[in-house]
Amino acid sequence: MTFPHSAYLLAFLGGALATAASLPLWRAWCVRTNLVDDPGHRKIHDSPIPLAGGLAVLAGLLVPLLAGAVALQLNLLPAGAVEKISYGFERRGLQLAAILVGALGMVLLGWLDDKHELRAGPKFAGQLGIALLVALAGVRIKLFPESPLSPVLSCGVTVLWILTVVSAVNIMDNMNGLCAGLGAIGAAAFGATAAGQGQYLVASLALLAVGALAGFLPYNYPKASAFLGDSGSHLTGFLLAVLAILPHFYTAANPRPLAVLAPLLVLAVPLGDMVCVMWIRWRAGKPVWEGDTNHLSHRLVRRGLGKPQAVAIIWTLHAGAGAAAVWLGS
């Protein structure tokens, strides 16, 4: 029996509707608590914008998950979905719990940074702790032959991967819609790969993330009434990093060695952008973590494109890389 496609649709719509419905509430709360991004140097706006996106996207993840858990208990899910989703929870229950705790942790860390402008040290320590928690729960990149050291090596590579992707996505949050769009497209690619491999729970989680991010886009693109903030960009990067690990790109049923490169291909745009800007800063003798306007989006604007058009071009490149990755992993 094939997995009911209506369950995937419910995951997507649940995420989108929960985000879109909660965002006005979070936006009002941010205005009340002065959690806003004020205009300033290298800013793209001329009036304060609420940093409500991360909180709304988190709601877009948690509300449908809570509703789904209730529906699962009451046997209200589409026919054929209950048994397979339950099996997925049994196999990956600890991992999913760690992912949810990690998502909450990333949003909290980003919220603290939005509110208090954390120093690099404490922020990195928080990211490291969250990444280690997820890796220790079993969400790991497995590249090494079985040996006493393989769990340690896998944990180390996984932590490095999560930190790298979070950073790459975070620094691409520099134009309206760019970060959320990249997150939605990347999650869709990972979801399509998981669905093709029969990993129903992973695919449902990915499509939930797609919906949650897509529900935010009307408030952020082409004009913004809310920003993701560091809480949202941290959450988006974390979701993409984890969704890159969960699917089985190489299996006995799909023995294609190049398929393990699919996650790198899905995330080629943000990772490539990060490498390029760090290289430019290093060549200029500047700290690699110091912000500038050498990102791909800024370069496209300097060539005469409007910001919405520059973002749309980057989305298109990202979607093309994602489609190629789905083909490679299928």
CA distances 302 to 181, 184, 290, 298, Å, are 21, 26, 20, 6
Dist. CA 267–CA 265, nearest whole Å: 5
Where are the chain's structural domains?
5-256
Instruction: Provide the 8-state DSSP code for 50.
Output: E
Tell me the per-residue pLDDT of 106-126, one tens digit each, with 9 for 90 and over: 999 999 999 999 998 999 999
pLDDT one-digit tens code per residue, 140-178: 988 766 667 778 889 999 999 999 999 999 999 999 999
pLDDT band at residue 39 under the 50/70/90 scheme: confident
User: CA 100 to CA 84: how far, in whole Å?
Assistant: 20
Residue 291: its pLDDT value, please? Answer: 83
pLDDT tens readout for residues 56-96: 999 999 999 999 888 777 777 666 666 666 666 777 789 99
Which residue do the tokens 């789904």 mark? Answer: 68
Q: How far apart are CA 50 and CA 33, in angstroms?
A: 10
